[in-house]
Amino acid sequence: MGNAMRSVVAFIPSERCQRFLVGDLKEMPLDRTLDLSSRQLRRLPVAACVFGELVKLYLSDNNLSSLPADLQGLKKLQLLALDFNCFEELPAAVCRLPQLSILYLGNNRLYSLPRELRELTELNTLWLETNCFTVFPQVICELPNLKTLHLGYNQIQSLPRELGVLEELRSVWIAGNQLAAFPPVLLEMHFLAVIDVDRNQIRYFPCLSHMLGLKLVIYDHNPCVNAPVVGEGCRRVGRWADSSDDEQEDDGSKAAGDTTLEVTEVHHEEEHNI
């Protein structure tokens, strides 16, 4: 079915038209995974919410701006992909999924997160890249098991000190924001393994050699006057990282490609671990 036809049918609310978009949802998928990505959906069929044993639900690349309350019936759901949709606020039902551990919300229109998000105590991976955040969502600091946080390409200017209480956090991706200085709270988070502050406005980088668990620092495309000093075994991506200025200029495209690869590998590893 072509995308043009899907777009027309998506406006028709009848159950018959919805089946035309998503197929006949009568039986629980054997792998407990339901993929309804790229279906031009404007609403999620309630039939998709009856599979109580479902573990993974992919709704990426649709036209969704809300979800039915029935979604909260998916008590065993561990992965929910809502990226590339039209959400301006997080549906309440998402915060009532007790086993949810991976939540993809990138490329939407979110500017805040509800306090109820803290109820997702099993959440370890949260992707919020390319939304409309101008202030760091404080509720994130109340997710005790969070390991990976991706807030790249928003308009955030600073990180709160409360972020330091997340002792399980290992990867912080905040490229493409409006940080004018390296966030002081990150200096206290000795357990971090990955810090990505690419494409911000940071002019000076403090010494990071005391962060013994650090494995990767991405700081390219900042108007910086120095490179961060890191400990042995930590890889740097940015100007003056491993070579002279001229050589680093030539290696710029390669570094950008390597960064994309790093993010992609993290994405696939998280899903594989479920």
Read off the CATH number of the domain in which 167 is found: 3.80.10.10
Q: Which residues pair with 217 in a beta bridge?
A: 195, 236
By the 8 A CB rule, do 103 and 125 touch? yes
Which residues are within 8 A (CB) of 58 and not within 5 positions of it... i.e. 6 or more apart? 33, 34, 35, 36, 37, 79, 81
- In the chain, % of residues over pLDDT 90: 75
pLDDT tens profile 140-186? 999 999 999 999 999 999 999 999 999 999 999 999 999 999 999 99
pLDDT tens profile 188-216? 999 999 999 999 999 999 999 999 999 99
Calculate mean pLDDT across residues 235-253.
62
- Of the candidates 273, 264, 263, the one whose C-alpha atom is nearest the C-alpha of residue 56 is 273
Whether pLDDT at 248 is above 70: no
HSE-CB of 156 using CA atoms within 13 angstroms: 28
Q: What confidence score (pLDDT) does residue 28 get?
A: 83
In angstroms, how far is CA 7 from the centroid of its own chain?
27
User: If DSSP codes are grouped into helix, strand and coil, which group holds residue 5?
Assistant: helix
Q: Which domain holds residue 72?
A: 27-122
Q: What confidence score (pLDDT) does residue 274 get?
A: 77
Is 168 a domain residue?
A: yes
Q: Which residues pair with 196 in a beta bridge?
A: 173, 218
Q: What is the mean pLDDT of the chain?
A: 87
Whether pLDDT at 10 is above 90: no
Is 185 a domain residue?
A: yes
Is 233 a domain residue?
A: yes
Q: How many domains does the chain have?
A: 2
Is 192 a domain residue?
A: yes
Q: Does one domain contain both 175 and 213?
A: yes
In angstroms, how far is CA 40 from the centroid of its own chain?
22
pLDDT tens profile 37-95? 999 999 999 989 999 999 999 999 999 999 999 999 999 999 999 999 999 999 999 99
pLDDT confidence band for 7 (50 / 70 / 90): very low
Q: What confidence score (pLDDT) does residue 124 get?
A: 98
Is 254 a domain residue?
A: no
Is 258 a domain residue?
A: no
Calculate mean pLDDT across residues 125-131.
98
Give the end of a domain, one of 122, 146, 166: 122
